[in-house]
Amino acid sequence: MESLQLKKAFKEIYDAEPILVKSPGRINIIGEHTDYNGGLVMPAAINKAVYVAISKRDDSEIHLFSESYQEKYTGNINNVKIADKAWANYILGVVDGFLKRDFPLSGFNLYMYGNVPLGAGLSSSAAVECATAYALAQLNQFAVSKMDLALIAQKAEHEFAGVNCGIMDQFASVFGQRDYAMMLDCRSLAHEYIPLKLDGYKLVLFNTNVKHSLSESAYNERRAQCEQGVAWIKVHYPSVQYLRDVTEEMLLEYVKPKNNETYTKCSYVVAEIARVKRAAIALKDGDLDELGKLMFETHEGLSKAYQVSCKELDFLVEQVKDLADVLGARMMGGGFGGCTINIIKEEEIDQLIQKISKAYLHEFDLVLSAYIVETGNGSKIIETATIAEHTP
């Protein structure tokens, strides 16, 4: 949908002049399940996004319309509560976040359209949250930093979607830059842009097109296991806040004797944080072989130790593991479905997609979708009705 069409669709429903904002989905090159452990991640924004058209109202009502679901929702600023429509909750959670931070919000009309594939692990929900946060900040000229927008968006996910996620997805959606990956330190929130130079290779996503129902409960459960590990160590090392602050030796001494499963999970996280550091060096050095190797290692850890993979994801990684033209592959995101991310030699991509699709169909009777990743920019205003373009 072009911005012109979005504007037209908005006007047809609300008879008002909107401002238009977009916020993208994301990929993650490496650093999985490390964000809520204060660790390192390496995401990039993609060129698929959620678009929001928004205008102020004279009253305190909230009017929302989702193009994808062809549904509307009506509520009120004075009584923001969890709705029975999941898509609306991502927006309402952001409204709630602004109100809790005492930003003066009045009623608004919002029309949302998106082309981030849903349920694919590309953070379409973070894109909705960040687009909403950015749009409300622009509409009301709130003095709020980009990082605070990401944090408000993350809180919406916690409180209105029930997923205790880390900051990676919302950070990537707000801060993304075309042709760059970002290494984010989720403890200090310091970040560095790293050019995504993959000469002769491309990042390709294979979408399993499954999302197992376990995903949300298991996610919160993993997070709780990590926190338990930290709590046991904290008794002996009071300054430890996250698994980021922990060494394998500490895990062996204080977590393994208490619970071997918790130990295995925590140990994966500690190893993964170390891998992100090595991956950043490899990417800067143009050592794609090393980067790829690290991605395979991550998959192994996520599948066997952290146990957030599934048979469809494992199958896709297994299929490419021994191919010389595939430097690395792993499941991406929270797990239990969604995509694998692969580094594939450019001229081999088409035939490989055909081959893997055929094998996947044969094995699971499911259609595989493949996307060649194009990176994109983070949250931005694309058209303004009454105010000048600027970045908050």
Interface residue with ligand GLA among 96, 129, 169, 312 (CB under 6 A) is 169
Query: Measured between alpha carbons, how far is 165 from 36 in angstroms, rounded to an integer?
Result: 7
When the beta carbons of 29 and 291 are compared against ligand GLA, the nearer one is 29
When the beta carbons of 137 and 302 are compared against ligand GLA, the nearer one is 302
Residues shown for the chain:
392
Q: Strand runs (DSSP E) across the chain, as ranges?
A: 19-28, 40-41, 43-56, 61-66, 71-76, 108-114, 180-185, 191-195, 201-211, 326-331, 337-345, 369-372, 380-383
Q: What are phi and psi of 268, to 5 degrees?
A: -55, -45
Q: Strand runs (DSSP E) across 199-264, as ranges?
A: 201-211
Between residue 34 and residue 63, which ones bind ligand GLA under the rule CB under 6 A?
Answer: 35-36
Interface residue with ligand GLA among 32, 245, 297, 312 (CB under 6 A) is 32
Q: Select which of 35, 169, 185, 365 is catalytic.
A: 169
Residue type, 4: L
Output the smallest distance, CB 8 to ligand GLA, in A: 33
251 near ligand GLA (CB under 6 A): no
Output the smallest distance, CB 53 to ligand GLA, in A: 26
When the beta carbons of 35 and 96 are compared against ligand GLA, the nearer one is 35
93 near ligand GLA (CB under 6 A): no
Query: Measured between alpha carbons, how far is 385 from 355 in angstroms, rounded to an integer?
Result: 48
Q: Is 334 exposed, middle or buried (0-12, 13-18, 19+ CB in 10 A)?
A: buried
166 near ligand GLA (CB under 6 A): yes
Output the smallest distance, CB 106 to ligand GLA, in A: 30
165 near ligand GLA (CB under 6 A): yes
Query: Measured between alpha carbons, how far is 6 from 51 in angstroms, rounded to an integer?
Result: 8
Residue 195 contacts by C-beta under 8 Å, 6 or more apart in sequence?
179, 180
Output the smallest distance, CB 130 to ligand GLA, in A: 12
When the beta carbons of 35 and 297 are compared against ligand GLA, the nearer one is 35
Helix orientation angle between 146-161 and 168-175, rounded to the nearest 10 degrees: 140
Query: Measured between alpha carbons, how far is 248 from 254 in angstroms, rounded to an integer?
Result: 10
Q: What are phi and psi of 172, to 5 degrees?
A: -60, -40
Q: Has 96 been annotated as catalytic? A: no
334 near ligand GLA (CB under 6 A): yes
SS3 for 286? coil
When the beta carbons of 7 and 48 are compared against ligand GLA, the nearer one is 48
**∠ Cα 276 392 53 (to 5°):** 100
Output the smallest distance, CB 336 to ligand GLA, in A: 10
Beta bridge partners of 55: 109
Output the smallest distance, CB 78 to ligand GLA, in A: 30
Output the smallest distance, CB 337 to ligand GLA, in A: 12
129 near ligand GLA (CB under 6 A): no
When the beta carbons of 339 and 368 are compared against ligand GLA, the nearer one is 339
Two tokens at 136?
């409300």
Q: Are 158 and 164 in contact, with CB atoms under 8 Å apart?
A: yes
Q: Which stretch binds ligand GLA (CB under 6 A): 28-36, 77-85, 316-324, 340-348?
A: 28-36
329 near ligand GLA (CB under 6 A): no
Residue 345 contacts by C-beta under 8 Å, 6 or more apart in sequence?
200, 201, 325, 326, 327
Between residue 257 and residue 276, which ones bind ligand GLA under the rule CB under 6 A?
Answer: none
When the beta carbons of 36 and 51 are compared against ligand GLA, the nearer one is 36
Residue type, 335: G
When the beta carbons of 105 and 273 are compared against ligand GLA, the nearer one is 273
For ligand GLA, how many residues bind (rule: CB under 6 A)? 11
Where along the sequence are the contacts to ligand GLA (CB under 6 A)?
32-33, 35-36, 123, 165-166, 168-169, 333-334
So which residues are the catalytic ones? 169
